[in-house]
Amino acid sequence: MKRIFALVPVLAMSLAASGVLLAQDNSFFGTWKLNVAKSKFVGTQAPQSETRTLEPQGNGEKVTYEGIAADGSRISYTFNSNFDGKDSPISGSNQPFGADTIAVTRVDANTITAISKKGGKTLVTTRSVLSKDGKTTTNTSKGINAQGQLVNQVLVWERQ
């Protein structure tokens, strides 16, 4: 009986630590550059350039986007997510699709889904798939932007 009571705290600590390690073991982490030539844009204009950085933070990630939009304006926004499907605020300029929040869920080791929203209303759903070799990520987004225009895009990101 004493052994069981001694093992319970050890087991609980092990489970908690494994959850943190799983959150930190994310093959999506790193710096990625958008390959505009390989990407497809419907309902949005292609940016001149864009880079995203995904870093571990707490039980999730911090995502930062930097670049130049089609009109020459600056793209610079960030958000934090715990992969729990809960809305996280997006801050900065030229947020995707005019969204003010994003809800991110980890499907498996190579797939993440995200729902971009404005004022609580779903705009666009994105599915991100990491290639088997870990060198590219393909984001497929469908929905409408904040202006009500159809969005259907495929973005190809290359690891830097």
Task: Note down pLDDT in tens along the chain; length 160 residues.
Answer: 554 444 444 434 444 444 444 444 579 999 999 999 999 999 888 999 999 999 999 889 999 999 999 999 999 999 999 999 999 999 999 998 999 999 999 999 999 999 999 999 999 999 999 999 999 999 999 999 888 899 999 999 999 9
Euclidean distance between CA atoms 63 and 91, whole angstroms = 11
Euclidean distance between CA atoms 99 and 115, whole angstroms = 9
pTM of the model: 0.82
| Collapsed DSSP state (helix, strand, coil) of residue 98 | helix
Euclidean distance between CA atoms 22 and 96, whole angstroms = 27
Does domain 27-159 correspond to CATH entry 3.60.10.10? no
Domain coordinates in residue numbering, the chain: 27-159
In this structure, the number of other CB atoms found within 10 A of the CB of residue 140 comes to: 14
Instruction: List CB contacts of 146: < 8 A, sequence separation 6 or more.
Output: 97, 98, 99, 118, 123
> Are the beta carbons of 154 and 142 closer than 8 angstroms?
no
